[in-house]
Amino acid sequence: MLNLSVLIEASAKRYPTKSAFTFMDTTLNFAQVNGAANQVANGLKAKGIQPGDKVALSCFNLPYFPIIYFGILKAGATVVPLSVLLKDEEIAYHLQDSDAKAYFCFVGSPELPMGQMGMAGFNKAPLCEHFFMIMPKPEMPAPMEGITTLGSLMAGQSPQFETVRTSAEDTAVIIYTSGTTGRPKGAELTHSNLMLNAVIAADLGDMTHEDKMIIVLPLFHIFAMTCLMNAGIYRAAHSVLLPRFDAETVFGLMQKHSITLFAGVPTMYWGLVNYKEDKFDYKTISKNLRLGMSGGAALPVQVLKDFEARFNVPIMEGYGMSEGSPVVTFNHLNAKRIPGSIGKEVWGVEVKIADENDNEVPVGEKGQLLYRGHNVMKGYYKRPEVNKEVLKGGWLHSGDVAIKDEEGFYYIVDRTKDMIIRGGLNVYPREVEETMIKHEAISLVAVIGLPDEKMGEEIKAFVVLAEGKTATPDEIKAWTKDNIAAYKYPRVVEIIDALPMSATGKILKKELRKMEAERSA
C-alpha cells in the first residue's frame, strides 16, 4: 500500500514546527499544512467524494495548492491540476475529459478572473458535482451567492484524518499535456511513479531540511510539482512561493530568505542573467545559492555559461516530460557534467535512441528517445488507441530527437514535430538557435519552418535583441550563414519585442506558426 500523502505526513511528524511554505508575510509549518490537508480530506469525504474520484484544482503558487493537493490524495481521490490560464471552454473540456466530480478554483484577480472562468467552465460540465472557490483568506465570503468556499468546506472539520489506503499503482494525479497536436491528453501518474520521482529529484539536488528554495515554476506543472514541491516536502525543505516570475522579485526573495536552491525554465535564467540593477547584494545571494536546476526546455549553452559565471553556481540540466513523472535523465552533481547535455539516465530508468522501427541506433546518430522504468505513466486517461502507439513494446516514445555520445551522455536535438525538412535535408531548430544566440546582439531566438513551394519548408528566425544592442535582419542572416552549414541558416529573420510564452515560461512555437499562417492566409 502507498499513498503519496505520506510525504507531508512524515515531515509533519519529524519536523512539525519547521517552516514548510512561505507566501508573502505568511509562513505555515509542516504540522499546519498537514492539519489543513486533513480538514480538506474530511470536507471532501462529507461531500461524498469516494476513493478513485477525480478532483480538479486551479490555483496559483499559494500555500492552498499543497493543502488541497494532499487533502485530495488523503481522501483516496485523484488530483487533476489545471493551468491557471485556461478559459471556460478549456476548463469544461478538462473537467469532462477527466470525469472530475469536484473542482477547486482560486478566485483570481481582475486581470485574471480565474474564479469567473472556473465557474463558467464548471457550469458546462454536467458530471462535475461540486465547485469550491478558493478565496485569498479563508474567512472571506464568495463573490457570488450560493458558492461554497474552501474556507467553508474546511470550517468545523477535524485536523485529524485517517488517510485512505491506496495501492502504489492507483492513479494519484492526472496531468494534462499541453497538446501540441490535437486536444490535451491526461497522463495517469501513480502514487509509485510520483513517490520514486520525488525521492530521485531530492537525491539529484542533494536536498536537506536546511535548504530554502523559491518555487516560481507553476505548481500545476509536473516539474514544480515533483522536483520542487514533493521533493522539498520529502526532505522537509522550506519553500518560498511566488506566483509569477519577475527577476527583481526573485532576487529580492533570494536575498531576504537566503535561498539555496533555484529551479527554473530557460527563459527565467535568461531573465536573471539580463537583470543588472544595482539593488541587491549579489555577492551574498551568490554565496547562499548552491544549486540551479533547469528543465522544461533546452537551456541555451550561452545562458548557462553566463549564469554560472555571474553567480558561481552550477546549473544542473535534465530532461523529463509529464508522462515520465517527469525526470528521465539528469546531470549528476558529483560527477562529470557537460553543458548542453541532459545528462544520463536516473536510477531505475532505461533509455535508448531508436530508429523508426524502434531499433537502437549507433552512438552519435540521431533517433527518437525512448525510455522505460518506474517513472512511466500508466497511460493517457481513456485513450487506449494512443497508448498502444506511445507505449509500444513497453517503451515510452517521447517524440524527441536525441543523440547519445560515447560516454553515455544524452543530448536533445529537437522535437520530431519541430524538425524542418528543407530541400530534403533535416534542419533541427535547436541547433540553429544555439548558434544564433552566440551573436552578441541576440538575447532570445526561436526558429520555425515555413511552407515553401520550392524547398518544401523554409527557415525563419524570430529574434529578440539584447538591451542596448542593434542589428538588422540582414546582418543577423549573414552572421549566421558564416557560422552554420549553408542549408541551415534562416532565410527570413524578424526582429520582435518579445516571444510568446506559456504559463511555464516555454516559448510557444505553435503561436508563432499560427501567426505566420494568419499572415499568409
Write the secondary structure of 215-253 as one string of H (helix), E (strand) and C (coil). Answer: ECCCCCCHHHHHHHHHHHHHCCCEEEECCCCCHHHHHHH
C-alpha cell at 495: 526582429
Task: Tell me the longest C-alpha to C-alpha distance in the chain.
Answer: 71
pLDDT at res. 147: 96
Residue with cell 458546462: 124
> Average pLDDT, whole number, for the chain?
94
**Residue 13, C-alpha cell as written in the block:** 511528524
Q: Which residues contact 442 (CB under 8 A, 6 or more apart)?
A: 436, 463, 464, 465, 466, 471, 476
Interhelix angle 6-14/191-204, nearest 10 degrees: 50
Predicted confidence (pLDDT) per residue in 472-515, tens digit: 999 999 999 999 888 899 999 999 999 999 888 889 998 999 99
Examine the pLDDT at 181 and tell me if it is beyond 60.
Answer: no
Cell numbers 462535475 correspond to what residue?
128
Q: What is the DSSP string of 454-467?
A: TTEEEEEEEEEEPT
Point out the least confidently predicted range of 58-72, 292-306, 415-429: 415-429
Place of cell 496559483: 60
For 331-344, write each residue's pLDDT tens digit.
999 899 998 899 99
* Residue at 99: amino acid letter: D
pLDDT at 291: 97
Q: Which residues contact 159 (CB under 8 A, 6 or more apart)?
A: 35, 36, 38, 39
Tens digits of residue pLDDT in 62-110 = 999 999 999 999 999 999 999 998 889 889 999 999 999 999 999 999 8
Domains of the chain: 6-15+22-190 (3.40.50.12780), 192-415 (3.40.50.12780), 420-520 (3.30.300.30)
pLDDT tier for residue 179 given thresholds of 50, 70 and 90? low
Q: Phi/psi zone of residue 49: left (φ > 0), alpha (ψ -120 to 50 degrees), beta? A: beta
Q: What pLDDT is stored for residue 150 in this prediction? A: 98
Task: Give the pLDDT score at 32.
Answer: 98
Ranges assigned E (strand) in 3-110? 19-23, 26-29, 54-58, 78-81, 100-106
Taking each helix axis as running N to C, give the angle between helix 473-483 and helix 429-436, from 0 to 180 degrees, rounded to the nearest 10: 110
Structure-block grid coordinates of residue 318: 535534465
Confidence of residue 297 (pLDDT cuts 50, 70, 90): confident
Percent with pLDDT over 90 in the chain = 84
> What region, left, alpha or beta, does residue 79 occupy, with left being phi > 0 and alpha being psi -120 to 50 degrees?
beta
Output the pLDDT for position 180: 46
CB-CB contact of 212 with 259 (8 Å): yes
Q: Is 466 exposed, middle or buried (0-12, 13-18, 19+ CB in 10 A)?
A: middle
pLDDT above 70 for 369: yes
CA distances for 419 relative to 403, 448, 494, angstroms: 15, 8, 20
pLDDT, residue 455, reads 83
3-state helix, strand, coil split of the chain in percent (to 5) is 35, 25, 40
Cα–Cα distance measured from residue 502 to residue 357, given in angstroms and rounded to the nearest whole number: 33
The share of the chain scoring above pLDDT 70, in percent, equals 99
pLDDT computed for residue 421 by the predictor: 79
Compute φ and ψ for 36, nearest 5 degrees.
Answer: -65, -40
E strand segments, 7-48: 19-23, 26-29
Summarised one tens digit per residue, pLDDT across range 119-156 is: 999 999 999 999 999 999 999 999 988 999 999 999 99
Q: What is the pLDDT of residue 178?
A: 65
pLDDT digits (tens, 9 = 90+) for 373-388: 999 999 999 999 999 9
Q: Is residue 286 within a helix (H) or strand (E), and if so which, with residue range? A: helix 282-288
| DSSP character at residue 410 | E
pLDDT category at 395 given cuts 50, 70, 90 is very high
pLDDT-derived band at 224, boundaries 50, 70, 90? very high
**Range in 232-241, 375-384, 397-406, 421-430 the model is least confident about:** 421-430
Model confidence over 227-268: pLDDT tens digits? 999 999 999 999 999 999 999 999 999 999 999 999 998 889
Rounded mean pLDDT, 416-444:
86
| Mean local confidence (pLDDT), 175-202 | 89
Other CB atoms within 10 A of residue 309 CB: 9
Confidence at residue 11, expressed as pLDDT on a 0 to 100 scale: 98
Q: Is the pLDDT of residue 365 over 70?
A: yes
